[in-house]
Structure 1
Amino acid sequence: MDPLRVAFVGCGEHARMSLYPSLRSAFGGSPVGLPSLVLSQEGRSLPPLLANLVALVDHKKDLAERVASFHHVDAIYTDHRKMIETERPDAVIVCIHPKRQAQTAIDCLEMGTHVWVEKPPAESIAEAEAMARAARKAGKFLAVGYMKRFSHAYQRAKAFMEKPAFGEPSVWESRYTYGQYPIDVYRFLNGFATHHLDLPRFFMGEIASVYAERVSRGFGLDGYAIVLRFANGGVGLVNTNCLEGAHINQSERVAITGVGGRVFVENWRRVIGVLPDNSPTYFWEPEDIRPTDDQNSLELHGFVGELRDFVLSVRDGRAPGSTIDDGIAAIRLERAIELSVKRGASVKLEEATDNV
């Protein structure tokens, strides 16, 4: 099978720092347009080549040229529609501001490509639902970049929960903190905190209702205490805030309790699991003292995994591990939280709209 032809729309900071560097490992082999794979061990064979990066798009041509030069990509465009007409990629990765992301993704889908978009997929439920309709009409996949789902720590926690002795997931607890947030550019719950609106559903299943309280201490200084009720009868607590000093003061903790078992994930890198059957306590943390491909931060944190999953989904014709439906659910939960704060009461998820 020939490698997929993949194009990339967006050359912003996140794309340059996290996504472009992840493509080498995500695509496998020695992809055209990317530096050769650095092998972890002498004599280790290259993984199969899944895709090549064939074109870059950014409305700032000089920025696109610099990024393309670094990644050895010859095809540079300022218009994604022109790029698709000329290059005919199989799939397009889109990482731009959510204000522009929805229409860009819809354009790509309507022109016949599979699409991966960065989280959040859009700023509103209506925009995200329009994206989903476009994907269904085109018969193409539309993946959303909730990379924490693909991180080594959360993947191991998920696998631990599937042990029969863990029991039905019953209680969710999470804490995610950040520094003062640029709310003139992004909404906090729609931006970084959206991961902790997605993870409860990823681990526990559908969310039925939410009750939330908010404290505001100035511009971009907010905290939320959120109570969740899951469709399986379970309950959850989410503490998320952007109050803790500089933005580098980022931390997170997740604890999930079953019926007998429990598992903890500390700061996205340490997993501790306990079962009631006297089996040894499960403990995992990365061996990142070794500079290997499978122990670098982009692999461990899920950036490589989310892109690899998308490419494999296109190649194999199966749904991605994080789809536009997951994006819609996270945005709907965000709006339900804000509606609960406004009402001072519990809100069913189906009550949430963009008009809060």
Structure 2
Amino acid sequence: MQKLRLAFIGCGGQASKLQANLPQVSSIDFVATCDLVPEKAQGNARRFGALKAYTDFREMIQAERPDAVAVCGAPQMHHEVGIACLGLGCHIFLEKPPAITAAQTKEIVDAAARSGKMGMVATHWRHAPAHRMARQLADQPEFGTVLGFRCKYAAPGPKSGIWGTDSAVRGFLLGQVIHPVDCMRFLVGQEVAEVYAAIAELPDGTTSYAVSFRFDRGAVGTMNLFGGTHTLMMETAIIGASGRCVEVVEAERLTYYKEQPAVGQGGYHDTPSIGWHQGNFYRGYGRPGYVEELEHFATALLASQQPRSSLADAYEDMRILEAIIASNQPRKPVSLSH
């Protein structure tokens, strides 16, 4: 069986969660870890089955000749090291966010084009089985064109300007909101043409967002987002021109409202639906989508195809995040040209 030779730069908390999924991906040969702290690189190599451990990524690439390199750390690292790895002849898998700004993300896109290599960003929501199933249902002719999108997302943090950003708003958008934004583009299948946002921020870093979207082929969408909450809450839904609706809760439970509501007896609560739950025997470690995004990355590259959630996708995601901030200050819609 042909396998993708993958090396991993970064062995911190999020990197370790991703590496824990690698033994489940038979199409990946995990050749090496790399971290500035030798004990982290060596420890993760032992725990997750890598053959070698390094503290210098250039030395690792020269010695191991991996097909691809995963980079997981701060966004400044994703930007700088990602571009360097492309220049050294490797495909790249970057943890989100790919950089601090959309302009820096475009630099990675351009570097990939110059190198002839491909890249992917780990926006794992779109790879979760329930969201992939929702997209498959939306692709059926009976569903019709997607007309509407809705998302509710709450997360405990960040509640400050992480990664050198200047506010809890920017920290939360980069660290968390990039996920529902990318998933929205995936589920709707259209590009965002206009953004309107209102943001509330408390002194302790708690934030709340009401965001409206208009898409380039007629769909509209809304997001209600909350940072600094005491819970993690995820809900997404899409509505088709046929009136059918797909709802996903916690990226684990899907409900498909396929038939017309009951008329003449009962009520709307009697609307027939089809449900799916990923169950307790999910094979991945951590959040739904981690193992699937790694599997997709390997499968696509082995077939010489561009993986989904590409660098170009990430650039569009970052443009939308910046449009949310830009819209909030004057309370005016922000148009996005394509």
Give TM-score, length-normalised by structure 2. 0.90
| Aligned with residue 321 of structure 1, among 301, 308, 333 | 308
Structure 2 distance, partners of 1:175, 1:277, is 25
Q: CA deviation at 1:222?
A: 0.9
Cα offset, 1:182, TM superposition = 4.1
Instruction: Confirm or deny: 8 A CA contact 2:125 2:180 kept in the other structure.
Output: no
Are 1:282 and 2:274 counterparts?
Answer: yes
Q: Within 2, Cα distance between the matches of 1:299 and 1:224?
A: 27
Alignment match, 1:265: 248
2:175 aligned with 1:191, yes or no? Answer: yes
The Cα shift of 1:5 comes to: 1.6
Residues 27-63 of structure 1, C-alpha deviation per residue, up to 9 Å, x if partnerless? Answer: x1xxxxxxxxxxxxxxxxxxxxx22111111111121
Which residue in 1 is equivalent to 2:84? 107
Residues in 2 aligned to 1:207 and 1:2: alpha-carbon distance in whole angstroms: 38
| C-alpha distance after superposition, 1:170-206 (max 9, x if no partner) | 1111000012424232511011221111111111110
In structure 2, the gaps of 5 or more residues are 164-170, 262-270
CA gap 1:299/1:98 in 2 versus in 1, 3 angstroms? closer
For 1:191, what is the secondary structure of its paired residue? helix
d(CA) in 2 for partners of 1:51, 1:337: 37
CA contact (8 A) 1:175 1:253 kept: yes
| Contact map agreement 1:170 1:257 (CA 8 A) in 2 | yes
Q: Quick one: distance in 2 between partners of 1:170 and 1:347?
A: 20
The SS at the match of 1:170 is strand
* Residue in structure 2 matching 1:221, options 186, 206, 211: 206
Show the counterpart of 1:6: 6
Task: Kindly state the Cα deviation for residue 280 of structure 1 after the two structures are TM-superposed.
Answer: 5.8
Give CA-to-partner distance per residue, 1:114-149, whole Å, 9 cap, x none. Answer: 111111111111111110111111111111111111
Alpha-carbon distance in 1 for matches of 2:81, 2:47: 25
Question: Where do 1:84-99 residues align within 5 Å?
Answer: 84-99=61-76
Where does the alignment leave 5 or more consecutive residues of structure 1 unmatched? 29-49, 352-356
Q: Deviations over 1:88-112 (max 9, x none)?
A: 1111111111011111011111110
Distance 2:183 2:55 in 1: 35
Which of 14, 29, 54 lines up with 1:52 in the alignment?
29
The one-letter amino acid of 1:214's match is I
Change (3 A) 1:72 1:51: closer
One-letter code aligned to 1:253: E
Question: For residue 202 of structure 1, what is the aligned residue in structure 2?
Answer: 186
* 2:154 matched residue in structure 1: 177
Contact 1:299–1:305 (Cα < 8 Å) also in 2 = no
- Please state how far the C-alpha of 1:80 moved relative to its aligned partner: 1.0
Partner of 1:241: 226
Q: C-alpha separation between the residues in 2 aligned to 1:162 and 1:340?
A: 32
The amino acid across from 2:320 in the alignment is: L
Q: 1:130 to 1:149 in 2, by over 3 A?
A: same
**d(CA) in 1 for partners of 2:254 and 2:287?**
13
* CA 1:280–1:21: 2 relative to 1, 3 Å: same
| Contact persistence 1:151–1:299 (CA under 8 A) | no
Which residue of structure 1 lines up, in the alignment, with residue 238 of structure 2? 256
Is residue 331 of structure 1 aligned with residue 318 of structure 2?
A: yes
Partner of 2:166: none
The offset of 1:285, in angstroms, is 0.7
Q: Which of 110, 119, 144 does residue 142 from structure 1 map onto?
A: 119
In structure 1, the partner of 2:19 is 20
The CA RMSD measured in Å over matched residues stands at 1.9
- The separation in 2 between residues aligned to 1:200 and 1:100, in whole angstroms, is 26
